[in-house]
Amino acid sequence: MAEISPTRPSLDVTDRVVIVTGGATGIGKIYATRLAEAGARVVLADIVDDANRQLADELTAAGHQVIAQTTDVSEQAQTEALAQATLDKWGRIDGLVNNASLMAVLGRKPWFEIPADEWDRVMQVNTKGVFLCCLAVYPHMKAQGGGKIVNIASSRVFEGGKWRLHYSASKGAVWVLTRALAREVGEDNICVNAVAPGFTLSETQVATSTNEHMANRQQSDKCFNRDQIPDDLVGAVMFLLSDASNYITGQTINVDGGRSMH
């Protein structure tokens, strides 16, 4: 990352090397696909090996630059291998989208019914995983003169949100991690920001939501009278990966149709 080039559109991500964790399923699949379609070189880092490789094959067949590196972000050796595989392929790491998390697979239940081991696993993936991925790419971004880290938080950090207390707490930690890390890596020309999605109709969300929950969720609090879809989040992510956001760091962009304003 450098100063905005007079010959390069500031929102252009062509040839940027971007890692997307959880990039083959749910909303991450849309982030990865749209980045590849926009000309970025994308590394899919999903834990689901079959989905990871299938999407990589599909995008490569369509003429895009994509590789798959199946990764459990809660394991440091695997996040380090992810960074190395990216360097081996393209020689640099321009962007990291920390999207991998446990959410849709978690049952909706009161906080006092959450098993302690489930709490620990959510924190390992959703919070520790973000830390480990940042740790893995940091020395390479520093050596090359900069980079962009985009963490995926949640609008729950602004509104609270009933059920899935462990998920909400983990995303609150990501929000604060974003701010604190931005303070520490600014001198290395690394931008650290976050995007906070609202309730989004991704494939995994729809598949794990009951008809009753879908029917009863509140819509009236939003400014837009329609459901949020994964593509609604893509613009914010691309903006934070591009030169257009070179002087923005430590910020969280809330993308939930105006339900929560801050």
Residue 162: the pLDDT is 84
8 A C-beta contact, residue 156 and residue 194: no
Give the residue, 21 or 3, on which the prediction is more confident.
21
Residue 108: the pLDDT is 86
Residue 7: the pLDDT is 56
Superfamily of the domain at 17-214+224-255: NAD(P)-binding Rossmann-like Domain (3.40.50.720)
167 included as an active-site residue = yes
8 A C-beta contact, residue 129 and residue 98: yes
Segment 118-176, tens digit of pLDDT = 999 999 999 999 999 999 999 999 999 999 999 999 999 998 888 899 999 999 999 99
Q: Would you give the distance in Å from CA 211 to the centre of its chain?
A: 27
Segment 81-110, tens digit of pLDDT = 999 999 999 999 999 999 999 987 788 899
Torsion of CA 135, 104, 20, 39, to 10 degrees: -160
Question: Which CA distances in Å does 247 have to 148, 159, 192?
Answer: 11, 28, 11
Delimit the domains of the chain by residue range: 17-214+224-255
* Helix, strand, coil shares, percent, the chain, to 5: 50, 15, 40
Residue 213: the pLDDT is 45
Residue 107: the pLDDT is 85
Q: Is the pLDDT of residue 75 over 80?
A: yes
Segment 24-57, tens digit of pLDDT = 999 999 999 999 999 999 999 999 999 999 999 9
Q: Is the pLDDT of residue 5 over 60?
A: no
CA atoms within 13 A on the CB side of 124: 11
Segment 202-254, tens digit of pLDDT = 565 544 444 454 455 555 688 888 899 999 999 999 999 999 999 999 999 99
Backbone CA torsion sign across 206, 212, 213, 219: positive
8 A C-beta contact, residue 158 and residue 171: no
Residue 201: the pLDDT is 83
Q: Is the pLDDT of residue 186 over 60?
A: yes
Distance CA 138, CA 47 (A): 21
Residue 33: the pLDDT is 98
pTM value is: 0.91
Can you tell me whether residue 170 is helix, strand or coil? Answer: helix
